[in-house]
Amino acid sequence: ETGLFMETEQPELLCQDLSFVPLSTRPDLAGIAPLAGIEVRSLEDWHQVIDWSFATCGPRAIAVKNQSAYERKLDYQQVSAAAAAPLFARFLKDAATLEAAELKAIQDHLFHYCIDRATEYDLPVKLHTGYYAGYGGMPLHRLRHNAGDMCALLAAHPNTPFVIMHITYPYQDEAIAIAKHYPNAYVDLCWAWIINPLAGVRFVKEFLMAAPANKLFTFGGDYLPVELVPGHARIARRGLAQALSELVREGWLSAADVPTLTERLMRGNAHELFNYEGTLAAWK
């Protein structure tokens, strides 16, 4: 199990992301290279493995996703292949000989290489931000820089849509500022409703007051057992209804605009950004 892509018999029920963590942040040479039938002896060989991964899984993926914010900052610098190649050669021989900065340079180069491939396949890039799953190990001093670190990524890849997952809670104000400023930044409320429902209500209200409404996705299940998703969806619907109702009562939103806005937030935005029909067609 490489974690690269999940095969499914029901893609219409749950579209799959292509994870590029095993291609960039933690290169899984032993797991993925044999699948591609490529012996990795250089950085160029690993590029070919990445290319194979996107060619094989990209057409059936709804997006690409990276959760590396659990283990490092999102300050992915642009490192050239020429600079990364000798470091990667040492990585192949003995990764333990590399300094932390050298390992980061390899990760940085591969991360941007994967973003370029995602752009070629018209795949939005989902990035985990904010709150950690689990307990007892969340470094808030690093999380608080997620949004700021993303600014360089958004500027470096202006033709690539980035989806900020989990509203960067508890630093959601920064997510609103990014979505307002950067044309290619979107925000997903997945998980946010069960982390803090009232924060979700405040976020929806403040987002709609500041940023374009077409850049907000209002729900994602974020449960392993599917049986728990309906309860999460009920919380999300209640929170969205409360946010929009308060905006109407406070005079910021017309009641006549609520049905159209609700459809956009709950369904329309996602269908505009993600190629759902094309992805399903690729599975057939």
pLDDT value at residue 14? 84
Q: In whole angstroms, give the CA distance from residue 219 to residue 15.
A: 15
260 burial type by CB count under 10 A (0-12 exposed, 13-18 middle, 19+ buried): exposed
* H or E segment and range at residue 18: strand 17-19
CA atoms within 13 A on the CB side of 101: 1
Q: In whole angstroms, give the CA distance from residue 58 to residue 65.
A: 12
ω into 225 cis (within 30 of 0):
no
Return the CA Rg of the chain.
Answer: 20
Instruction: Name the stretches of the chain with pLDDT < 50.
Output: none
Q: In whole angstroms, give the CA distance from residue 8 to residue 221.
A: 18
pLDDT value at residue 224? 81
pLDDT value at residue 1? 62
pLDDT value at residue 47? 98
Contact between 33 and 49 under an 8 Å Cβ cutoff? The reply is yes
